[in-house]
C-alpha cells in the first residue's frame, strides 16, 4: 500500500461549515492527552459548562457538549423530549427543518408540519394556526438560522407563541450561536442545540446543548425509556453534572474538548455582543463588495443571516467551474446552493474566525478575477 501522512493544503473556508479555525484553537487541540476522569480534566469540563452558559445566555444547569456533531445535538433534543404519541409542530423552511421531521417521526411522535418557502422565515401566523388546531401540542421545533438558505427566523416570537400555548420548544442554533443574537433564558427556550464547527470556529464533532428546568422535568416524567442509550440525558447527567460524583458514561473526546474550551474562551474574551457586531459588520462589507461585482443577495434584508449569504448566480455562469477555480487557484471554499437553490445560488459563509476583513477581501478579489475569466 502506497500511503503516507496526510497533509491537507491550507484552505480558507467560507462555506456553510466547517468554518475557519483560529490557530490558537488548533494549538489547544494538540496539547498532551490526560485521562477523561482526571481531576484537571473534570475541572476543564466545568469551565466549558460555564462558558457554554455564557454563550447560550442561560443559567440552565443542564448545559454541556454532546460528543458528536450538530445532528446528534438535534437527535438528543428530540429523543429526550418526545415520547410516542406526543404532538410536535415541526417548522420546515429548508434542509434542517426537514431533518427535524425525520427525527420526530423516528421518535414515534405525531408531527404537525408547518411549511414555508425556502428562502423565507418561519411564519408566525401559520404556527399560531397550528397551535389553534392542535392545542394539545407538546413541543414546537424550529431552526433559528437555516444554513441551507441563509434565513433567520424570529426565535423570540416563536418561543413566546409556544409558551402561550403551553408547549415546550426545541431550537436549532447550530449556525446562530455566536453569530447573531440568541438569548436562551430571556426568550424562554427549553431545549437548544448547536455545533462546534460553525460560528464557534472549533473543530467539528461536538454539539453544545442546553435544557431548561421544564425540559428536564418532562424528561424525568417519561413513561418510556429514551430510545437511544448514548443520547439518554438521564444517563449523561451523572457524567457532566457537578452535583453527582463523576462516573464513566463514555470516553470524552478529550482533545476536541480542549479545542472547544479554547474557542469558547475566545468568544468570552471578545464578548458576545462584539462577536454579533463583527459578523454584522463583515456581512455589510461583503454585501457591498458583491454589489460592486454585480452580484445580488437573494434573501430579504429583514431576515438575512450575516454569517451565511445566499448569492444569486448570474445567468450563463458555470457555477461549478467557478467554485472549482476558487478552490484550486485560491484555496478558497464557498458553498453550493441546495434544494431549489441548487445551481442558482452560492452560499458564502462568514462564520466565527472567518468573519474577518482579510477573508472578505480575499473572497471578493478571487470572485472578481475568476468571474472575469469565465
Ligand X SMILES: *Cc1c(COP(=O)(O)O)cnc(C)c1O
Judged by the rule CB under 6 A, the positions of this chain that interact with ligand X are 17, 69-71, 74, 96, 143, 147, 172, 174-175, 195, 204
Task: Output 305 or 367, the one with its CB closest to ligand X.
Answer: 305
* Cβ proximity of 110 and 86 under 8 Å: yes
Q: In what order do the strands lie in the sheet with 191-193?
A: 62-66, 207-211, 191-193, 168-172, 139-143, 87-92, 110-115
Please state the closest distance from residue 190 (CB atom) to ligand X, in A: 17
Q: From residue 117, how far is each of 91, 95, 121, 153 by CA, in Å?
A: 11, 11, 8, 12
C-alpha cell at 88: 410536535
Task: Output 89 or 206, the one with its CB closest to ligand X.
Answer: 206
Please state the closest distance from residue 69 (CB atom) to ligand X, in A: 3
* Cβ proximity of 371 and 313 under 8 Å: no
Please state the closest distance from residue 37 (CB atom) to ligand X, in A: 26
Task: Output 112 or 143, the one with its CB closest to ligand X.
Answer: 143
Task: Output 66 or 313, the one with its CB closest to ligand X.
Answer: 66
Please state the closest distance from residue 253 (CB atom) to ligand X, in A: 14
Please state the closest distance from residue 153 (CB atom) to ligand X, in A: 11
Q: Which residue is nearest to ligand X (CB)?
A: 70
Task: Output 203 or 364, the one with its CB closest to ligand X.
Answer: 203
Q: From residue 28, how far is each of 31, 48, 253, 314, 334 by CA, in Å?
A: 6, 14, 13, 42, 26
Task: Output 83 or 154, the one with its CB closest to ligand X.
Answer: 154
Q: Are strands 87-92 and 139-143 parallel, antiparallel or unpaired?
A: parallel
Task: Output 154 or 172, the one with its CB closest to ligand X.
Answer: 172
Please state the closest distance from residue 96 (CB atom) to ligand X, in A: 4
* Cβ proximity of 85 and 109 under 8 Å: yes
DSSP 174-232: TTTTTTS---HHHHT-SEEE--TTSTT---SS-EEEEE-HHHHHHHHT-SS--S-TTT-
Please state the closest distance from residue 344 (CB atom) to ligand X, in A: 19
Amino acid at each position: 500500500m502506497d500511503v503516507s501522512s496526510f497533509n491537507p493544503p491550507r484552505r480558507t473556508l467560507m462555506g456553510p461549515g466547517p468554518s475557519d479555525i483560529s490557530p490558537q484553537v488548533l494549538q489547544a487541540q494538540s496539547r498532551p492527552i490526560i485521562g477523561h476522569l482526571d481531576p484537571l480534566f473534570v475541572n476543564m469540563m466545568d469551565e466549558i459548562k460555564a462558558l457554554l452558559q455564557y454563550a447560550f445566555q442561560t443559567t440552565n444547569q443542564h448545559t454541556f457538549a454532546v460528543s458528536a456533531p450538530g445532528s446528534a445535538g438535534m437527535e438528543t433534543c428530540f429523543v429526550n423530549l418526545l415520547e410516542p404519541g406526543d404532538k410536535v409542530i415541526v417548522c420546515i423552511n429548508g434542509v434542517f427543518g426537514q431533518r427535524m421531521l425525520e427525527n420526530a417521526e423516528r421518535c414515534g411522535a405525531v408531527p404537525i408540519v408547518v411549511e414555508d418557502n425556502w428562502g423565507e422565515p418561519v411564519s408566525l401566523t401559520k404556527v399560531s394556526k397550528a397551535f389553534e388546531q392542535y392545542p394539545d401540542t407538546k413541543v414546537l421545533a424550529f431552526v433559528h438560522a437555516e444554513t441551507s438558505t441563509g434565513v433567520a427566523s424570529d426565535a423570540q416570537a416563536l418561543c413566546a407563541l409556544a409558551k402561550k400555548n403551553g408547549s415546550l420548544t426545541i431550537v436549532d442554533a447550530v449556525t446562530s450561536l455566536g453569530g447573531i443574537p440568541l438569548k436562551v433564558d430571556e426568550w424562554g427556550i427549553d431545549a437548544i442545540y448547536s455545533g462546534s464547527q460553525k460560528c464557534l470556529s472549533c473543530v467539528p464533532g461536538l454539539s453544545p446543548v442546553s435544557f431548561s428546568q421544564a425540559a428536564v422535568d418532562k424528561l424525568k416524567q417519561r413513561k418510556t425509556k429514551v430510545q437511544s442509550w448514548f443520547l439518554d440525558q438521564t444517563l449523561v447527567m451523572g457524567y457532566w453534572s457537578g452535583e453527582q460524583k463523576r462516573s464513566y458514561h463514555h470516553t470524552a473526546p478529550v482533545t476536541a474538548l480542549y479545542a472547544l474550551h479554547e474557542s469558547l474562551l475566545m468568544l468570552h474574551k471578545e464578548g458576545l455582543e462584539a462577536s454579533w457586531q463583527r459578523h454584522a459588520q463583515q456581512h455589510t462589507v461583503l454585501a457591498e463588495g458583491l454589489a460592486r461585482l454585480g452580484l445580488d443577495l437573494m434573501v430579504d434584508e429583514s431576515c438575512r443571516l450575516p454569517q451565511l449569504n445566499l448569492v444569486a448566480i448570474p445567468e450563463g455562469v458555470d457555477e461549478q467551474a467557478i467554485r472549482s477555480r476558487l478552490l484550486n487557484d485560491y484555496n478558497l471554499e464557498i458553498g453550493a446552493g441546495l434544494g431549489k437553490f441548487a445551481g442558482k445560488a452560492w452560499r458564502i459563509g462568514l462564520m466565527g474566525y472567518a468573519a474577518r476583513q482579510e477573508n472578505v477581501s480575499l473572497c471578493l478579489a478571487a470572485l472578481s478575477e475568476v468571474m472575469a475569466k469565465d
